[in-house]
Structure 1
Amino acid sequence: MQAKGDTGGAEQLQERLAQIDAAIQDVDYRAANIRAGDARASEGIAVAAGGEPSAV
């Protein structure tokens, strides 16, 4: 896209890919909590990387 001069489209695509990557990391983190037997995860509460609980 950038090679064709569509810098706006390329920026939007990069932003969307970053959102998808963040979502994948969140799912991976929740799965790790479940595998580790974290009681909060099994109750439907995920703990974000910053340590703040959030509803799943």
Structure 2
Amino acid sequence: MKQLTNSDWLVFLIYFIIVSVYGLEVDASMFRTNRAFTAGALIAAGIVVALYTLFW
């Protein structure tokens, strides 16, 4: 893992101050997915579980 440099910390500090002052607008609609994505994700997870079970 890369060690953070002074410029990395400076960018992080500036970002943190901006977010603290102005805030972030977050609501539930940002985390909604459509049905096709949800179905695909569940199928992919099921395949991974099946393969894991088969080869364990």
Question: Same fold per TM (> 0.5)?
Answer: no
More strand by share: 1
TM-score range, shorter chain: 0.3 to 0.5
Report the TM-score, using the length of structure 2 for normalisation.
Answer: 0.42
Q: Which has the higher helix share?
A: 2
Higher relative contact order (CA 8 A, sep 6+): 1
